[in-house]
């Protein structure tokens, strides 16, 4: 009871909803919280594998994590890795991105279903997301969020996971989820085959052109990032300074998603 109360107080003070985000908030202030055994084990597995994969949600990350590490690495940002395990940034590093419209629709279906057999929506957001009566209502909810920390990872923008405090892309390589070179890259770094994980069998969702445009406007920076990767222009993005995060590393409400 005391532990739960202390956790609740910490979440409220840091203005976050998920326990894992306490680590992100600490990293914003150049601080490191003690690592739990699962976090320490994930970092150790990355060191042994000799490669850092930054898991952007809804971009085949669970399959990639399993192929590389034989376990799930969750959704730490490049900023957190730099703070808590800076030696990992000396390793080859990469992330995978996805068309923002496809990703959002996938996240929406996942939210409505409450997750999959492999992974579930956090209890913090489960009931809210299951009550969405349409895709527009989900977009309304996201646009009204005062902070990314008030959203589950599936709805946070992709660039947020791979940008450093200075706004520069912090990984060395970027791939699109459908890139045929991705499995070869993973195999070249000692990974196994990418078996399908986190399959979503929820009903398909019809999306209008107006809704697609609304998603692209909301996730404007992700649109530009994905387009550059598709065109093979990752070299122009890696290390590039895009619109910086709010001083201290926290996203400002007016630029949460880098929208147009």
Model confidence over 130-151: pLDDT tens digits? 999 999 999 999 999 989 999 9
pTM of the model: 0.88
Distances (CA, A) of 201 to 113, 120, 133, 180, 231: 9, 13, 19, 24, 31
Instruction: Give the Å distances, CA to CA, from 242 to 52, 164, 166, 167.
Output: 22, 10, 9, 5
**Low-confidence winner among 30-44, 85-99, 125-139, 233-247 (lowest mean pLDDT):** 233-247
79 and 166 Cβ atoms separated by less than 8 Å: no
Higher pLDDT, 116 or 237: 116
| Mean pLDDT value across residues 46-67 | 96
Count of residues in the chain: 260
Give SS3 for 53.
Answer: strand
Q: CB count, 10 Å around CB of 10? A: 14
Q: How confident is the model at residue 91 (pLDDT cuts 50, 70, 90)?
A: very high
Taking only the tens place, the pLDDT of each residue in 166-210 is 888 999 999 999 999 999 999 999 988 876 665 666 667 889 999
Task: Report the mean per-residue pLDDT for the chain.
Answer: 85
How much is the CA Rg of the chain, to the nearest whole Å?
Answer: 18
Rounded Cα–Cα distance for residues 159 and 240 (Å): 12
- Residue 171's closest CA among 100, 97, 224? 97
Query: Rounded to the nearest 5 degrees, what angle is found at the Cα of 47, between the Cα atoms of 62 and 68?
Result: 30
């Amino acid at each position: 009871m005391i532990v739960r109360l202390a956790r609740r107080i910490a979440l409220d003070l840091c203005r976050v909803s998920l326990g894992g985000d306490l680590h992100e908030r600490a990293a914003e202030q150049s601080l490191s919280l003690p690592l739990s055994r699962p976090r320490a084990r994930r970092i150790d597995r990355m060191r042994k594998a000799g490669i850092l994969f930054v898991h952007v949600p809804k971009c085949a990350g669970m399959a990639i994590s399993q192929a590389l590490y034989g376990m799930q690495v969750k959704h730490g940002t490049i900023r957190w890795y730099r703070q808590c395990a800076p030696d990992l940034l000396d390793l080859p590093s990469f992330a995978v991105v996805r068309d923002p419209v496809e990703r959002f629709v996938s996240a929406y279906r996942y939210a409505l279903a409450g997750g999959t057999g492999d992974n579930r929506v956090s209890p913090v957001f489960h009931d809210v997301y299951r009550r969405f009566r349409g895709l527009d209502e989900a977009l309304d909810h996201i646009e009204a969020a005062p902070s990314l920390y008030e959203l589950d990872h599936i709805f946070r923008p992709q660039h947020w996971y791979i940008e450093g405090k200075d706004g520069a892309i912090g990984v060395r390589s970027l791939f699109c989820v459908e890139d045929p070179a991705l499995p070869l890259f993973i195999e070249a770094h000692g990974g196994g085959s990418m078996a399908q994980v986190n399959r979503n069998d929820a009903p398909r969702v019809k999306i209008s052109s107006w809704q697609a445009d609304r998603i692209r406007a909301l996730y404007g920076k992700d649109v530009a990032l994905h387009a550059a990767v598709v065109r093979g222009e990752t070299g122009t993005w890696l290390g590039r300074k895009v619109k910086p995060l709010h001083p201290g590393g926290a996203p400002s409400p007016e630029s949460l998603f880098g929208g147009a």
